[in-house]
Every structure is written in structure tokens, then in C-alpha cells.
């Protein structure tokens, strides 16, 4: 795809010149893939720098729907797509994922990126059944980031290419976690037999059921095979190529995964993911902090209502027919796990916290069209915590669990005719939206600026459908 001229587009006022980062500003699934599809024509290079197969980013373009988990969403647009060492990857899934794009050769991966093995996935399941239930995606994220952090158990992309070294590293990891893996193996065996008796679909066995040596060998064989297929995508140091690329005048999009409220350090701990998800951390993991456009390069994707997958406090959650309506109209089912997403009203307190702590300046509001099917949507403008009204986001998950949302009725957002709104939007910007939607966007913007203290925060575009271009840009 050739690069479109930005100067003649309504995006010109809003997009960055050098490097920009886009992250989710809630609990994930805000529509990061949709944003990437809109701005891809103006970009030269795409980057993913954290997370891994736990994410699912949807790109819908030219009649085709892509689900990206590890590969940057920009790969759908046949442009260089770089995966940096900050990620953790499942190599088999990665190879499969690359095959959905027309030209997989655009994808490169840093040789130091950590590998998720079947054993990491088994131990993710073990943690969920024998400790705090976080509701993880069971993709092995936590255990793989643990291996990275403890260094001694780290297996990298480079290790995949050397069979002997790989065998040593796999044996090292499996032996270190042998007791839990064998326990998990027994449990999986029982579940598999039970399911067989009941004529149910078999489950994928992730733990050792026939001895540790055979288990290690099966992991090595699988990983070595994947490594051979990925070998020509592996590069030594992605930060060299990215920094050179900026210096050559290219425009780069760094695509975050999950959402700021799932950040390992400043999210709703411990109900979070195992990597950092703020804009600053995501840029740093790409080696591009210094190159980011300070004015226009810090984007947060914000859903017009709230969703969350897995456990953890969710003050505006609707466990009633209104929540069910949102789930149905917004097709809120996990891109990675298929789990129904929990749904609720837009939470200005939580999102404003994410804007400030996650270093967002520009917002891209998605799925306002979904609200037209729920009558009178509400917005949470403050919390009542232990008898006190506050707009401060509690940092303790137990306190957040007690927070009661104070809700402001917003009135109907109006019916949005996508085609007509997009057409009129080219001339009128947000003026093309129904009055109710405009009011909603303005209220979200002013609440976020006010509560976060980020006084120059603005919503620069509003997404009104899942397909590329179903968007109104502020003029
Ligand atoms: P991501 O993880 O942030 O990329 O988001 P997901 O792809 O997991 O989930 C967002 C879902 O909403 C996807 O199915 C998108 O196709 C869809 N979507 C994105 N923006 C809009 C929008 O403005 N309106 C509607 N109706 N759907 C949208
Ligand atoms: P994208 O990039 C929504 C959630 C899981 C769980 C918690 C920890 O599509 O927005 P993990 O497997 O990471 O250890 O799970 O984080 N989670 C996501 N929720 N969207 C995602 O990614 C998510 N990635 C992880 O549901 O609650
Ligand atoms: Mg997603």
C-alpha cells in the first residue's frame, strides 16, 4: 500500500509527524485495531512492543476481518510490522497469524523476545485454579513474563534456532516447575476422561501425562519446527531499525495492547495483566520514547461504554437486561477467548485516571453507534466511597469494589446512519453526528479533561462502526 497524503485529510490536524503511540484507555477491547485501520494509510511502520497472544485486535477492511493477537495490526496493510523484545510470543500461533495477511514478509521480530511454551500455558491454568483467580486468557502470559523477569528461565526467539540450546532451556524450565506440572497433568487427565465419558469435545492437554522427558521432547520438537518457519523474520535489534526509520523521515505507529486499567503496576492490581500498558511504557519498550510527537502522539482509545473480561472490580457493571443489551448490540465477546465480556456504563472516573496515569492527550471514541440501541445511556461522573463523593480513583482494588457509581442520565444518542454520517462528516466534522451523540461526546471530553487534570485533552475522532473509515474526524 502506498502512503496517502496526510496534508489533505482531516486527520492532518491530529496525527503525529514522527512517532505516535495508541493504547487502550479502559480494560482492553476499546477498538485499537479499528483505529489502526483508519490511520494506516498515513503510516510507514507499525510496532507492537508488549503483551502477546492475550490480546485480540480486530481490523475490518475491504470486506475482510482480521484478528491480530501478536502481529501489529498494520500488517494487514502490507507495511513493515515490527515486534520488539518487550513482547512474549507463542511461536506456533504467531506463524499461523502471519498467514492471514497477503504478505507475511513485512513482519519482523526481535531475537530477544521471550517464548511462551506449552508448559507456561499449563502453569497459567495452574495459577488460575490454585491461587487468586484473575480470569486470565490462559495464554501463558504471566508465567512467560515471570521467566523474563527471573532471567534464568528465559527462552528467547534466538533459542528456537539452536536445537541443543532449546532442549537445555526447555528441560531447565520444565524441571524447575515439575511438581506443579505433574499435578496439573493428573487434573487434565481426569477432566479429559470425564469429557470423553460424556461425549464432549476433547480438551487440549498442556501438562505432562506420560513422563517428563517425553513432555520436554514434544515441546522442543514443536518449538524447533516453529522456529524454522519463523527464522527469516528474526532480526537482532529492532530498536536500531526503528530509530533509523524515524531519522529517515518515516511515520511510526506503536500499537499498545490491553488497556491502561490492566497495567501490571498502575492498573486495578492484582486483577491486571503481566505487562505495562501505559503510553509511556509502550513507547519505551519500542525504544522510541525520545522520538514521540509530544503534541499529537499520545492516543487513547475510549469505548463509549465500559467492558471488562475476567475478574476484578468494575464499578459501573450492569448485571441486568441493560448490560445484556449492550453485550448483544456491541457483540461483546472476547476476540481471544470467546468469553462474554462484562458490560457497564461509561466510567469517567476510571477513564480519567487512565488518561492521566497512562499519559494520554488525544482520544478516539468508539462504539457510540452501539449506544443508540439502549435508550437512555448513563455516565458515571463520580463515586460514592464509604459515604464520601469522590472523583479520585481508588488504588486499592478492595476499596474500588465498594465504590458506587453516581450516574448522570445522558438522553438518547440518536440513530446513526453510518454512510450518511461519514459523508457529511467530511464537511461538518462532529457536526454530522446526531445532536444526542454530539452532546455525549462533549460530555465525555469535558469530564475526562476536568477529572484527569489533563486540560488539553481532546477527543479527535469518533468511531461509528467496525469497518475502516466508519469514523468522523473533528475538523
Ligand atoms: P481491541 O482489542 O482494542 O483492538 O478491540 P477488539 O477488536 O478486541 O474489540 C473491539 C470490537 O468492536 C471489534 O469487534 C471491532 O470490530 C468492533 N468495533 C470497533 N469500533 C467500533 C465502532 O465504532 N462501532 C461498532 N459497532 N463496532 C466497533
Ligand atoms: P486487547 O489487546 C481485554 C485481561 C484478561 C484478564 C487479565 C489478565 O485485545 O485489548 P492475561 O491473560 O493477560 O494474564 O489476563 O487481563 N486481558 C484482556 N482483556 N482485552 C485484552 O487485550 C486483554 N488481555 C488481557 O481477561 O482479566
Ligand atoms: Mg481485543
**Ligand 1 in reach of 288 Cβ (< 6 A):** no
Would you state the cell numbers that stand for residue 69, as one nine-digit string? 493477537
Burial (Cβ within 10 Å: 0-12, 13-18, ≥19) of residue 199: exposed
Contacts of 411 (CB under 8 A, 6+ apart): 376, 436, 439
Distance CA 443, CA 432 (A): 17
Best CA proximity match to 49, nearest among 387, 286, 355? 286
Distance CA 129, CA 131 (A): 6
Triad 98, 100, 106: Cα angle to 5°: 45
Given a contact cutoff of 8 angstroms between Cβ atoms, the answer to whether 59 and 76 are in contact is yes
Distance CA 277, CA 260 (A): 5
Give the residues surrounding ligand 2 with Cβ less than 6 Å away. 24, 28-29, 54-57, 134-137, 139, 141-142, 257-259, 262, 273-274, 309-310, 335
Distance 209 CA to ligand 2 centre (A): 29
- Three-state secondary structure along the chain? CCCCCCCCCHHHHCCCCCEEEEEECCCCCCCHHHHHHHHHHHCCEEEECCCCCCCCEEEEECCEEEEECCCCHHHHHCCCEEECCCCEECHHHHHHHHCCCCCHHHEEEECCCEECCHHHHHHHHHHHHHCCCCCCCCCCHHHHHHHHHHCCCCCECHHHHCHHHHHHHHHHHHHHCHHHHHHHHHHHHHHHHHHHHCCCCCCCCCCCCCCHHHHHHHHHHHHHHHHHHHHHHEECCHHHHHHHHHHCCCCEEEEEEEEHHHCCCCCCCCCCCCCCCCHHHHHHCCCCHHHECCCCCEEEEEECCEEECCCCCCCCECCCHHHHHHHHHCCCECCCCCCECEEECEEHHHHHHHHHHCCCCEEEEECHHHHCCCCCCEEEEEEEECCEEECCCCCCHHHHHHCEEEEEECCCCCCCCHHHHHHHHHHHHHHHCCHHHHHHHHHHHHHHHHHHCCCCCEEEEEECCCECCCEEECC
Phi, psi at residue 60, to the nearest 5°? -120, 110
- pLDDT confidence of residue 116: 98
**Ligand 1 in reach of 34 Cβ (< 6 A):** yes
**Ligand 1 in reach of 366 Cβ (< 6 A):** yes
Would you state the cell numbers that stand for residue 72, as one nine-digit string? 501489529
Contacts of 466 (CB under 8 A, 6+ apart): 34, 58, 60
Triad 470, 471, 475: Cα angle to 5°: 150
Distance CA 124, CA 119 (A): 9
Distance 205 CA to ligand 1 centre (A): 32
Active-site positions read 29, 57
**Ligand 1 in reach of 465 Cβ (< 6 A):** yes
Would you state the cell numbers that stand for residue 311, as one nine-digit string? 475478574
Best CA proximity match to 424, nearest among 466, 375, 473? 473
Given a contact cutoff of 8 angstroms between Cβ atoms, the answer to whether 368 and 463 are in contact is yes
Domains contained in the chain, CATH given: 16-105+236-473 (3.90.170.10), 114-233 (1.10.300.10)
Would you state the cell numbers that stand for residue 353, as one nine-digit string? 485516571
CA distances for 74 relative to 59, 364, 469, angstroms: 9, 18, 15
Given a contact cutoff of 8 angstroms between Cβ atoms, the answer to whether 300 and 24 are in contact is yes
Q: Using omega within 30 degrees of 0 as the cis cutoff, is the peptide bond preceding 412 cis?
A: no
Written as tens digits, the pLDDT of the chain (475 aa) is: 557 789 989 999 999 999 999 999 999 999 999 999 999 999 999 999 999 999 999 999 999 999 999 999 999 999 999 999 999 999 999 999 999 999 999 999 999 999 999 999 999 999 999 988 999 999 999 999 999 999 999 999 999 999 999 999 999 999 999 999 999 999 999 999 999 999 998 889 999 998 999 999 999 999 999 999 999 999 999 999 999 999 999 999 999 999 999 999 999 999 999 999 999 999 999 999 999 999 999 999 999 999 999 999 999 999 999 999 999 999 999 877 888 999 999 999 999 999 999 999 999 999 999 999 888 999 999 999 999 999 999 999 999 999 999 999 999 999 999 999 999 999 999 999 999 999 999 999 999 999 999 999 999 999 999 999 999 999 9
Tens digit of each residue's pLDDT (9 = 90 or more) over 381-400: 999 999 999 999 999 999 99
Best CA proximity match to 106, nearest among 98, 114, 95? 98
The CA-based diameter of the chain, rounded to the nearest angstrom, is: 67
Distance 334 CA to ligand 2 centre (A): 9
Tens digit of each residue's pLDDT (9 = 90 or more) over 304-342: 999 999 999 999 999 999 999 999 999 999 877 888 999
Would you state the cell numbers that stand for residue 425, as one nine-digit string? 462528516
Contacts of 371 (CB under 8 A, 6+ apart): 304, 305, 377, 413, 440
Q: Which ligand is located closest to the Cα atom of residue 262?
A: 2
Triad 13, 361, 33: Cα angle to 5°: 80
Nearest CA to ligand 2 atom 13: 273
- pLDDT confidence of residue 375: 87
**Ligand 1 in reach of 370 Cβ (< 6 A):** yes
Contacts of 418 (CB under 8 A, 6+ apart): 369, 464, 465, 470
Amino acid at each position: 500500500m502506498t502512503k496517502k497524503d496526510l496534508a489533505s485529510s482531516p486527520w492532518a490536524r491530529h496525527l503525529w509527524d514522527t512517532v505516535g503511540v495508541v493504547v487502550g484507555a479502559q480494560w482492553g477491547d476499546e477498538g485499537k485495531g479499528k483505529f489502526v485501520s483508519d490511520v494506516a494509510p498515513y503510516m510507514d511502520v507499525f510496532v507492537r512492543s508488549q503483551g502477546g497472544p492475550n490480546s485480540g485486535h480486530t481490523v475490518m477492511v475491504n470486506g475482510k476481518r482480521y484478528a491480530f493477537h501478536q502481529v501489529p495490526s498494520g500488517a494487514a496493510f502490507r507495511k513493515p510490522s515490527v515486534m520488539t523484545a518487550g513482547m512474549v510470543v507463542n511461536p506456533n500461533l504467531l506463524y499461523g497469524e502471519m498467514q492471514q495477511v497477503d504478505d507475511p514478509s513485512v513482519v519482523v521480530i526481535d531475537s530477544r523476545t521471550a517464548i511462551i511454551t506449552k508448559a507456561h500455558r499449563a502453569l497459567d491454568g495452574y495459577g488460575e485454579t490454585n491461587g487468586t483467580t484473575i480470569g486470565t486468557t490462559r495464554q501463558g502470559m504471566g508465567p512467560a513474563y515471570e521467566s523474563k523477569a527471573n532471567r534464568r528461565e528465559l527462552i528467547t526467539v534466538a533459542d528456537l534456532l539452536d536445537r541443543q540450546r532449546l532442549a537445555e532451556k526447555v528441560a531447565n524450565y520444565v524441571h524447575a516447575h515439575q511438581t506443579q506440572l505433574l499435578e496439573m497433568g493428573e487434573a487434565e487427565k481426569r477432566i479429559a476422561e470425564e469429557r470423553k465419558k460424556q461425549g464432549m469435545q476433547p480438551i487440549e492437554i498442556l501438562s505432562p501425562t506420560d513422563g517428563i522427558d517425553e513432555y520436554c521432547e514434544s515441546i522442543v520438537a514443536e518449538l524447533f519446527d516453529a522456529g524454522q518457519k519463523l527464522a527469516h523474520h528474526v532480526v537482532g535489534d529492532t530498536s536500531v531499525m526503528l530509530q533509523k526509520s524515524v531519522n529517515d523521515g518515516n511515520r511510526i505507529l506503536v500499537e499498545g495492547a490491553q488497556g491502561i486499567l490492566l497495567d501490571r503496576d498502575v492498573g486495578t492490581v492484582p486483577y491486571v495483566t503481566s505487562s505495562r500498558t501505559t503510553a509511556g511504557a509502550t513507547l519505551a519498550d519500542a525504544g522510541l520514547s525520545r522520538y514521540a510527537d509530544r503534541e499529537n502522539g499520545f492516543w487513547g482509545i475510549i469505548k463509549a461504554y465500559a467492558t471488562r473480561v475476567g475478574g476484578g472490580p468494575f464499578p459501573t457493571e450492569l448485571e441486568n437486561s441493560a448490560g445484556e443489551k449492550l453485550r448483544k448490540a456491541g457483540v461483546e465477546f472476547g476476540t481471544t477467548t470467546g468469553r462474554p465480556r462484562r458490560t457497564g456504563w461509561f466510567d469517567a472516573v476510571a477513564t480519567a485516571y487512565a488518561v492521566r496515569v497512562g499519559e494520554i492527550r488525544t482520544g478516539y471514541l468508539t462504539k457510540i453507534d452501539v449506544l443508540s440501541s439502549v435508550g437512555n445511556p448513563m455516565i458515571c461522573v463520580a463515586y460514592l466511597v464509604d459515604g464520601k463523593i469522590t472523583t479520585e480513583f481508588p488504588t486499592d482494588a478492595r476499596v474500588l469494589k465498594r465504590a458506587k457509581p453516581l450516574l448522570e442520565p445522558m438522553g438518547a444518542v440518536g440513530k446513526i446512519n453510518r454512510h450518511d454520517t461519514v459523508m457529511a462528516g467530511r464537511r461538518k466534522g462532529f457536526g454530522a453526528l446526531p445532536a444526542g451523540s454530539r452532546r455525549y461526546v462533549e460530555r465525555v471530553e469535558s469530564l475526562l479533561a476536568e477529572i484527569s487534570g489533563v486540560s488539553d485533552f481532546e477527543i479527535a475522532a469518533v468511531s461509528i462502526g467496525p469497518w475502516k473509515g466508519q469514523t468522523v474526524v473533528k475538523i
